[in-house]
Amino acid sequence: MSQSLFLSKYSNTFLSRWLVFAFDLGIVIFSFSVATLLRMNFRLIDIDFNAFKYHFLFLFIFRVLSFLYFQSYTGIIRHTSIEDAGIILKAVFTGTFLATMLSVVVRYYFGLDTLFYVPLSILLIDFFICLFLMVSLRFWVKSFYESFIREFRPSVGILIYGAGYTGMLTKNVIQNDRSINYSILGFIDDNESKIGKTIEGIRVYSLPEAMDKFVDKTDGLEVIMAINKISLKVKKRISDVFLDRGVVVKILPPVEKWVGGEFAVNQIHNVKIEDLLGRDVIQMNNKQVGEQLFSKTILVTGAAGSIGSEIVRQLVAYLPASIILVDQAESGLFDLEFELSSSIPINTKLSVYVADVTDQKRMSRIISAHKPNFIFHAAAYKHVPLMESNPYEAVRINVLGTKILSELAAENHVERFVMVSTDKAVNPTNVMGATKRLAEMYTQSMNHLEGVSTKFIATRFGNVLGSSGSVIPLFKKQIERGGPVTVTHPDITRYFMTIPEACELVLEAATMGNGGEVFVFDMGESVKIIDLAKKMITLSGLRVDRDIEIKYTGLRPGEKLYEELLNNNENTLPTHHPKILIAKVNTPSYSYMEIQSHELEHILEHGTSNQLVAKIKDIIPEYKSNNSIFEQLDKAAIRSKG
């Protein structure tokens, strides 16, 4: 029988409580016999065996009754605890106490020296022997079981990074946990005065020493970072060293989640992929945002999406007077409304509309009825390959939907209109990015329209971790299915930030904008997607190319290797926030964009996809298709110029 089958068969099998009861009665027989021998100095000739059997029967009855009353035999032996020992003490003491009291009453109050009088010395000796055997044998069985099971369980080698107080606490917590067969191999520390020494018998290594001694030589190796108030930079540096070698890296829970100054082993968790972005989380000026959004009416389109829903969640904290949710995704809206129902402040009104942003009459009624102060426009089609195959929908939603909303915002004197854009709008190589750039251009042109008081603002950022369009959910699903993990190209890179962080930046930009700005966010360093895939596989406790295969599938239609936040003709201006910049974009006139949008509408109704994309390329000269059927349009344009 294999080890796994053996464990599965016997690890959840428990002794019958009646078998334990019988075992305890056997101890009662043994302890009374030994107590009698000790009392007689092991002289068998002095023992009255006729009296012995009556004495034993007398005590045995009280033992049985006390065991049944306290149910000392019902505990699971392998999980024996101090509480179980206390119950056994009560049961044994009660039996001895009752037998003693009755013996004393029989002899000293009635003056009867009967066979049912048990010498007090025997009862006292029996009490200690019986108690010792019942408690110690239970703990011995528990210890034997744990040692036996550990022999079958694979050992998990642990390196603790940090030999300070937190490291010592981690060591003690791990050693006291019996659920996994942990083996602490050593500490790692950067303090040279500790390296080479031992702490409670465990050696402290430098990072190079630990890498050389344990990495690639220890199966199932894990590293636990036990450093209090560890910075993101240090966390990333340590994680990268081990994850690049296929070693799982874990970290302790935040100190505020410790109970009584300690934590449990099950609170130690894998480093999150969000922790490996390569930069510190951007801090927002929440006070200024709160002052501008407090008691305002705010409409959010695309409210059921990953960005839109997070914007809504963050808006709730600023106590607006009203939040209007708009999306055509019925199920997503229902889920968000249900989530908010228990958290939205009592003075904030919530209105939910299933609506299409391209339905002008419907959107006009909604905006006219609520008169929002702010509109956050997050509704868009964003999947690059899908939009490459469906340019009609990309133009209809991303361009004309934005046009309809921005015009309605101007008509209804909305204070600020904030459009959520993307880095794919920069030097676009796909339909999706080009339509988002057109939307930027249209909204920016409205800032120059006479008589319009609405401030139109655009925010531009890269991929957000966990959004429906991100590779992160895709990789997670592929890893859960056992692979392979698909990467389009070994050199492809992307910028990343978390969803909450991206939405905080949107709110900050919305309140600082004066109209006409395209805000660009500091995305840190771009990340190679292949490195991201490898780290996610390792963080799942699996090994690249051994447990999970990585396959290269080739660039998808419209996809490019590198994404920029600015195009070749743009530069930036600083803002009061060091992580938010203003892109100096070339903004066309409103009359020009109005003419172009009418032509796009005409092509939508009467033209073909090629004609539609050709028109977009005419409006955006920097739009060059990549790995797409529309590359032929670029070649045709070059030939016509030649």
Structure tokens at 267: 């609170």
- Contact by Cβ (8 Å): 559, 498: no
CA separation for the pair 204, 171 (Å, rounded): 13
Tell which residue, 115, 118, 116, 88, has the closest CA to residue 100: 118
The three state secondary structure string of 50-104 is: HHHHHHHHHHHHHHHHHHHHHCCCCCCHHHCCHHHHHHHHHHHHHHHHHHHHHHH
How many CB atoms neighbour CB 307 within 10 A?
25
- Find the farthest-apart pair of alpha carbons in the chain and give their distance in angstroms, rounded: 132
**Cα within 13 Å of Cα(340), Cβ side:** 29
Annotation marks residue 424 as catalytic: yes
How many CB atoms neighbour CB 199 within 10 A?
17
Residue with tokens 């910075």: 231
φ/ψ region of 186 (left if φ > 0, alpha if ψ in -120 to 50, else beta) reads left
Residue with tokens 């990309």: 394
How many CB atoms neighbour CB 236 within 10 A?
18
| Vertex 565: Cα angle to 559 and 571 (nearest 5) | 140
Which residues lie closer than 8 Å to 556 by C-beta, 6 or more apart? 384, 385, 388, 488, 627
Buried b / exposed e over 318-352, threshold 16 CB at 10 Å, is bebebbbbbbbbeebbeebbeebeeebeeebebeb
Cα 521 to the center of its chain, rounded Å: 24
CA separation for the pair 214, 160 (Å, rounded): 12
Active-site option among 250, 424, 436, 579: 424
Residue with tokens 């008691």: 295
- The phi, psi pair for 139, rounded to 5°, reads -65, -30
Strands 485-487 and 455-460: unpaired
How many CB atoms neighbour CB 604 within 10 A?
18
- Contact by Cβ (8 Å): 515, 550: no
Instruction: Return the active site residues.
Output: 424
